[in-house]
Structure 1
Amino acid sequence: MVARNSLDLTCSRRGQPPRGDDGEQRNAMPPRPGRSCGSLGLLWNFIFNKPCNTRPAGPVPVRRLTRAELEAAPDRSLYRLGHSTMLLKLRGGFWLTDPVFCERASPVQWAGPKRFHEPPIALENLPPIRGVILSHDHYDHLDRHAIKHLAKAAEVFLAPHGVGDRLLRWGVPTEKVHQFGWWQGIELDGLNLTATPAQHFSGRGWNDRNRTLWASWVISDAEVRVFFSGDSGYFAGFKQIGERFGPFDVTLMETGAYDAQWPLVHMHPEETIQAHIDLQGRVLVPIHNGTFDLAMHAWDEPFERVAVLSRQRGIQLSTPLIGERLDLNAPHQGLAWWRELG
C-alpha cells in the first residue's frame, strides 16, 4: 500500500460554503456560464423530447445477494447496490452510502424516474448497518422509506448540515444523527470519515432549494482510502481533497446524468476522469448510472465514454455488476456488461 499523510479531522470554517442573505447554501467555486437546470425549456425537452435510448433494451444484470453471504464476506468488501448506493464492509461493520431502494427516484411512487433493476438485496434483508453516509437530500440519493426503516436498523447517520434535520423529522433518533460541514469528520471503530466539498445543490421541493448542504466523503480504513463523490460538477475542490487526503485506493465517482444544459452540477466523463486524477486515485469505479433515467444521454453512454477515456489515459477502471463483490484491497476490472444490452 502507498504511504499516507495523517488525516486531518480538524473543523475548519475556511472550507464552509458561504450562505447568502436568503439563507441558501452556496458553492465555494463561482459557477461557470450555462443554462439553468431549472429552466422550463429544459423540463419540456426532458418530458417530450427524450431520446428512445435512455433506458436499456433488456434487463440489467444483477447478482443477487443474501444476508448470510454478506455477513460471511471479508472486510474491505464493497458492493454496488444501484445508482449511488454502495454497501461497504469495514472493520466488521456495514456502511451504506446514499441508500435508495424505492422503485422511483421521485416524491411520489406513481410517477418519476423508474428503476431499471431491483436492488440485489431487499432493504429488509440487509445485515445490521453500522452507519449510513449521506451526500445530499435529492430523491435519487435520499429515500425517505429507506431512512425510516434504517432508523431502527442502523446505528449512526452521517450527514451534511441540514440533511440531518430531515432525518430527525423522519423519526431517526437524535443520538444517531451526526451533522457535518466541509472538512469536518469523525472517527468510529477505527475508521476516519470526513465530509469534503462538492459543487452541487440541494432541495426536495419548490421552496427549499439549497437550504441543506451537499458533500463528498473520504472514508479511511488505516492504509486503505476510498473517496465517495456524491454529486458534483467539476471544480478545484477535487485537487484540494487529493492534496489533503490522497492518494486514494478507490474513487467512487459520479459518471452519469450529465448534460450541456446543466454544466455546473454533474460531471461529463472527461471531467470525471480529471477529478479522479486530481484526487490522486488509483482505481476508478463509475457510479450514479445504470439504475435511473435522469438525463438525455443514452443509458450506457457514461460507461462507454469513461471506459474509452480510461484506456486513453492509462487509468485503472472497475465496472462490477450490480451486486458483485469488489475487493478494496485488490479491485478487479469487471466486465463491460452494458454492451450486451443495447
Structure 2
Amino acid sequence: MKVIKWICLIIVILFIGACTVNNSLATVGTTKVPTQSHFENGKFYNAEPMEANSFSKVAGIFVRFLMEKKVDAAPEQALPMNTLTREQLIDLNNDTIHVIKLGHSSILLKVYGEFWLLDPVFAERASPFQFMGPKRFHPTPITIEQLPPIDKVLISHNHYDHLDKHSIKLLANKTKQFLVPLGVASDLEKWGIQPNKINEFDWWQEQLTPFGFIAFTPTKHFSGRAISDGNKSLWGSWVISAKEHSLYFSGDSGYFTGFKEIGERYGPFDMTFIETGAYDKDWPDVHMTPEQSVQAHIDLKGKIMTPVHNGTFDLAFHAWYEPLEHVQSISNEQWIQLHTPIVGEIWQLGQPHQTQRWWQAYMPKYTSTIITAE
C-alpha cells in the first residue's frame, strides 16, 4: 500500500508541476498565432491572475495526500446506470437536442440529428498510466465502438480527465471533426488524427454549424500533461447555439468574472453543464465550490444547471457524493432548477426534467427522493 501511495505521489508531483514549477519557454504547439493578451513567451495565462503556489503550499498538498484519511472517497456499491445501444441513440428524433451524461464531464449530445461528444473519457483511469491513478466508479453506458458516427468532438483542455488518449485514438476513424483549444492539435496528430479534422480555437473564436454556431470562451484554469508542457496549450469552455436552443459547457474553472461576460455575450442558456467537484481549500483558483458553481450558473443566465465533474473519479479529498449533495442544497436556497441524471439517462431539451437525488440511496442512512420541475 505504501509503494502505491508513493507511486501515486509521483503522479501528483508531475501533474502539479505542470502548472507550478515549469519555467521553460518553448514554442506553443500550434500553427495558429494567439492574438489575445493571454499568451506570452510561449505560455498561456488566465485573464485574472492566480495566487502563486509556493513550495510550502505544494509540499503541504503532498503531505495531505500521503497522510490524510479520506472518508467515502468512492462508493461501496455499484452506482445506477442506464445502458445505451446504438439503435436507441439513432432512433432519437432529429428535431431537437438530446443530452446524455456519460460520466465525470463527458457528455453525449444529439444535436438535430448529429452526435457530438464533449470531453469524452472512456478509459478506466484518468491517468497517464493504465495500471494506476484515479479509477472509474462505474463503466460507461456505451462503448466507443458501439457509438454511432460522431460529427464533432469538443475538448475543453488537455488534463487527463478531459483529454483521454485512449478515447481519441478509438474515435479517430468515426469522427468528422475535433474542436480543441490552441496548442492541443499537436497531441491529437501524434495520436493519429488527421490534421484536416482538427480545428483549434482561441478564446472568443466562433465556428458556424448547420444549426447555428459554436464559440470557445475563457475559463480560469491551467493546462499540462507533464512537467515540460505546463500552460503551453489553452483551456476554456464551450458555447453551443443551435436553432432556438443554447448550451454552455464549463470544462474546468475557478470562479471568475468571465462567467458574467459570457452570460452577457451569449446568454441566456437553456442548460449549463457546470463543473461541481474535485474542489479543495488548497486549490481554490482552479476549481469551484458548489456555491461558486451555482453563482457561475446565475452569472451565465442559465435556466437549468447540470452539475458535472463528479461521481466518476476520486480527484480530491471530499466524499464522492458531497458535490451533488451540497449543490442540491445550494440550488434549493437559490431557486435554481437542477438536473441530476444518472449516467446514461437520456433527456430532451424542452421536456420536463427531474431533480433525482439518486446518490442518496448510496450514502449512509439516506434514501432517494425525486422532485419534478417544469
TM-score by length of structure 1 reads 0.93
- The residue number in structure 2 matching 1:42 is 61
Query: Which stretch has the larger CA shift, 327-336 or 168-177?
Result: 327-336
Per the TM alignment, residue 45 of structure 1 is displaced from its structure 2 partner at its CA by 1.5
For 1:240-279, list aligned pairs within 5 A.
Answer: 240-279=261-300
- The residue number in structure 2 matching 1:63 is 82
- In structure 2, the residue corresponding to 1:125 is in which secondary structure? coil
Instruction: State the Cα RMSD in Å.
Output: 1.9
- Check 1:17–1:85 CA distance in 2 against 1; reply closer, same or farther (3 A cut): farther
For 1:41-190, list aligned pairs within 5 A.
Answer: 41-74=60-93, 75-190=96-211
Runs of 4+ in structure 1 over 4 Å off: 32-38
Per the TM alignment, residue 165 of structure 1 is displaced from its structure 2 partner at its CA by 1.8
- In structure 2, the residue corresponding to 1:77 is in which secondary structure? strand
Q: Which runs of 5+ in 2 are unaligned?
A: 1-33, 364-374
- In structure 2, the residue corresponding to 1:239 is in which secondary structure? helix
Per the TM alignment, residue 195 of structure 1 is displaced from its structure 2 partner at its CA by 0.2
Q: Which runs of 5+ in 1 are unaligned?
A: 1-12
- In structure 1, the residue corresponding to 2:192 is in which secondary structure? coil
The alignment status of 1:206 with 2:222, answered yes or no, reads no
Cα distance in 1 between the residues matched to 2:43 and 2:83:
41
**1:159-209, Cα deviation, whole Å (9 max, x unpaired):** 000112211121100110000000001112223110000000001011111
Does the 8 Å CA contact 1:36/1:261 hold for their aligned counterparts?
A: no
Does the 8 Å CA contact 2:278/2:315 hold for their aligned counterparts?
A: yes
Cα distance in 2 between the residues matched to 1:37 and 1:263:
16
Cα distance in 1 between the residues matched to 2:357 and 2:312:
16
- In structure 2, the residue corresponding to 1:70 is in which secondary structure? helix
**1:76-130, Cα deviation, whole Å (9 max, x unpaired):** 1010000010000002110000010000000001110000000000111111000
**1:308-338, Cα deviation, whole Å (9 max, x unpaired):** 0001001100101100012122350231000
Per the TM alignment, residue 17 of structure 1 is displaced from its structure 2 partner at its CA by 5.0
Does the 8 Å CA contact 2:71/2:318 hold for their aligned counterparts?
A: no
Does the 8 Å CA contact 1:319/1:333 hold for their aligned counterparts?
A: yes
Cα distance in 1 between the residues matched to 2:257 and 2:56:
21
Per the TM alignment, residue 213 of structure 1 is displaced from its structure 2 partner at its CA by 0.2
Query: Which stretch has the larger CA shift, 234-243 or 326-335?
Result: 326-335
- The residue number in structure 1 matching 2:327 is 306
Cα distance in 2 between the residues matched to 1:190 and 1:162:
27
Cα distance in 1 between the residues matched to 2:56 and 2:148:
38
Does the 8 Å CA contact 1:34/1:261 hold for their aligned counterparts?
A: no
**1:25-63, Cα deviation, whole Å (9 max, x unpaired):** 100012257778981321332243241311112211111
How many matched pairs? 330
Q: Could you tell me the percent identity over the aligned residues? A: 49
Does the 8 Å CA contact 1:257/1:288 hold for their aligned counterparts?
A: yes
- Check 1:183–1:38 CA distance in 2 against 1; reply closer, same or farther (3 A cut): farther
Cα distance in 2 between the residues matched to 1:38 and 1:296:
16
Cα distance in 2 between the residues matched to 1:36 and 1:116:
33
